[in-house]
Each structure stands twice: as C-alpha cells, then as structure tokens.
Chain A
Amino acid sequence: MTDDQPGSARAENELRTLLHRAVATVEPDPTALGRIRHAVPRRRARRRNAWTGAVAATLLAAAAVPALHAVRPFDLSGGTTAGSTDAHGADRTPRATRGSTGGPRTAPLPAHPDARPTPSTGTSGSAVATDPGSSTASAPVSVPACLRTDLGRGTAHVDPADSAGSTYGFFTVRNTSARSCGVTGPGIVAATAGGPADQTRIKVVDHIAGDAATALPAPGPVALPMVLRPGEGYRVRFGWVPEGACPSSAPRAAVAAPEAPATPAAGSGPVVPAAATTDPSPSPTPTADPPSVTVAHTPVGGDPTAASTVITGSCGGTVYRTAPEAVPAESATATATPGKS
C-alpha cells in the first residue's frame, strides 16, 4: 500500500485488487445449491401456512395452557392449585369450540367410560371426569403435557437401504407413565456423523411432499398435542438420503448397519434396532471405522435421547423426518385403538 495520497484512485484500485485476491480461493460448498433447493419450498410452505399456523398455535395454547396448569399440582401436590385446575376447563362439559377443532389425529381423550381409571387421577385432576356422553368425539381436553419422564421404551427400526441407497425407518416412543398425557411437540431428530462421515454434510429437515424422501408418507395435518394413554405411543418416521461420495479412502458398506448387533430390545423390528439406553456396543470390525450416521430421536422435553440407530455407508446426506403419528398400545392394554391416521 502506498504511504501517501489518501483516498486516491490508486489506493482505491489497490484495495480493489487486494480484496479480490483475498477471497479468490473461497469456493462454494458443492452441496450449497442442493440445500437451498430443498429449503426454498419448505420456507414457502412455512410462509404460506403462517396464518394457519397462528390458528394452530392458538388452539395448541388453548389445549396446552390448562394442561400446564394440570401439571403443576402434580409437582407441588397442592390442593389449592388443583382446585384452580378445575376452573380451567376440566369441566365435564366440553367446550363447543373445542369440538369443532378436533384434529383427525388427536386421540380420544381419557374421557372413556371403560374401566381403566388412571391411578393418578387424584393428582392430575384435569383428566376429565367421566362423561359418557362426550366420549371420543371431544377433542383436546386438558390432560397434562407429557413430561420427558413419561415417555420411554424408545425403539428404532430401520429397513435395509432401497435401490436408490436411501434408508427408511422410524422411532417409536411410548407413554410409560400410568396416566394419559399430551405430547406437545414433535421432538428432535438429530444426525451425528461417525467415522469419516462429514458432519457438515449432514442435515435434518422436515419431510415435505415432493422432497427426496419419496418413501415417506405425505405429510398431513399435524395435531399436537397428541394425547397418549398409558402404553400408547407415537412414531416419527425418517428417511436418510445420502448425498455425495465419501473421501476415496472411506470404506462403503452397502447395507444399513451390518456390523451392529441387534439388541433384543422390546418391540424391535427386524433390522438393527438400538435403543439408546442399551449400549449398542458395536463389535469391532477389522477395518477402520466405516462412515456412519447416527440418527437419534429426543422427545419434546429434551434429553435423554429415546432411541437411536446407526446407518453406515455414506458420508453425507439429509435426514427427512415426519411429524409424530399415533401408535396404539402394544398389547391388550387398550381395547379401543386411538384414532390413527
């Protein structure tokens, strides 16, 4: 740089050259266009649904606020607050407005007359006094929101990779508590790179119609909170669509997680379920770590992870996840299956 002529054309030109030279080696990430292309329709959908979402949020709030109130007496075991809960709409007259909002997926509320009173009825007083008249038609009445500790028995199921190399599977999480509760959010699906896989090339996105995860069901309306009776659960499906090649040294495996021993987890599918609580303890393979991606689900409420699974053979790609869908109780726990879409 020159020592004189401040602001001169020469200095400006020099700066121009310097600036261009300074970033001449900066090159786009090759996956950038793909990411943008995936994200744009999603963002549009979000904009489009902005006001629909506002309505949904209002409904959610309407359902969740009493639910939150209902949780409090559970924590504080205070009789006074329990009293206030009743004032919040745990009445036996379902509100007319609620009736009209009944999403297809919201499970029928505990308002069933069958002989299965939840032991915690006393504490979660909001669990709706039995009212045979309203029964299943009444939509989200107040049940307490599911605490993280209410949800468990997480399992993961993965199908073998399809011809296109994509891998599909799902996580199932159940209400392991003795009371009904409402799942208030979709939870988190996270993907972590293992071996030579590249974390920066791994994305998790919501599944939308027309995206690359063609085997996932088209997303429908999501009705949260989703009420789970004891034993009932929800399922979050995912599809792993690998993208790009591995660094040449990385070994490629053709099938999903061939080396991980199938843990005899409850209700597991045929292929490699690995409940997070049980240590998957992958048997050491003679070669170096194969590239792998660990896909894990954490329910709303945060850690710990409910279930995870390892997909090997690719170094980057996208996890497409769906919203939770209801899963009936496994065994003879329930006589009536919930309204499953």
Chain B
Amino acid sequence: MDDDVNGTHGMDDMDGEAPLDGEDLDLDLLEEELRRAAAVLDPVPAELRRMAVEAFALHDLEARLAELTFDSVVDAIPVRGAVDAPRMLTFHAGGVTVDVELTAHGLMGQVLPPQQARIEVLTGPHPGEPLATDDMGRFTHDRPPAGPFALRLRTGEGVLVTDWLTV
C-alpha cells in the first residue's frame, strides 16, 4: 500500500535535505496557511467538543471492559445482495461472552454462559435505555441503535462495559 509513496525515484527530492532552505520555508508557510484555513473553514464543531468533554463520565475504573473480538463488518465475508444482513458482534471479558446482532429493526443478543443481567444500551455519556435478560441471558431491544453504541451489563459478578463502536 505504501508503494506509490516510497517507490518513486524521480525528480522529486525524496530526502529532506535536497531542496533549498528557502523552499523549505516556503512550504512550511504554506502548511501554516492551510492550518489557518482549516481552523476557519473546517474546525471541530463546538457541540462535538462539548460531547468529548462530557465523555469523561464514561471513565470507570470499576467496570470490566468487554473487548470486541468479532465484527461482521470486518471479519465476515460479505454476502452479495444481502443488503439488510444483520451486523454480528461478539465481546469478551474474562469468562463472559456477549453476542449481539444488530438489524434495521433493533438488536438482540445473549450473555454467555447464560446468566441474568441488567443491561443498558448506551449511545453517549448519559445513562442508556434499560433492558433485562431472560434466564438464558437473552435480550432484545426493538429500537435500532444509530451512531456511537456500547452496552453496560450488570451481572452477579459486577459491571461490564463493551467497547464503543459506531453503528
């Protein structure tokens, strides 16, 4: 992938010392000008900055992190024509696995080994919508999450939070 970057040996000087100092300075100035332009024309939106500041509420050393170990977007071979295929996610934390399936209609999943848990569907730093599993650890939610998404689970063994991802 880097070929077109590294593989060219042309007139372009490919080491930093070839051009005149004057040109270096010129290019530095141009980059500086781009920086100013970006600050004016494409700055970080204020509401996003605010949201990032509020995200500190998600900093929780008590909770165990359930890492994303499978995501069908990355790990599965896409099925041609299957436009509405569900997105399958698997999270792992210690001995606990959480399987989640996202569709256009909502989400369903299961905690394994089967156990009861209280679950929150998180979309941001604020408390999410509560769900409860059945005895087999299964849960459903009839609203499809959109945007940033994570689950917080309270099991007999404590609190578990899944990795955040964008859906």
Q: Do A and B come from one complex?
A: no
Which residues of B come within 8 Å of A, CB atoms?
none
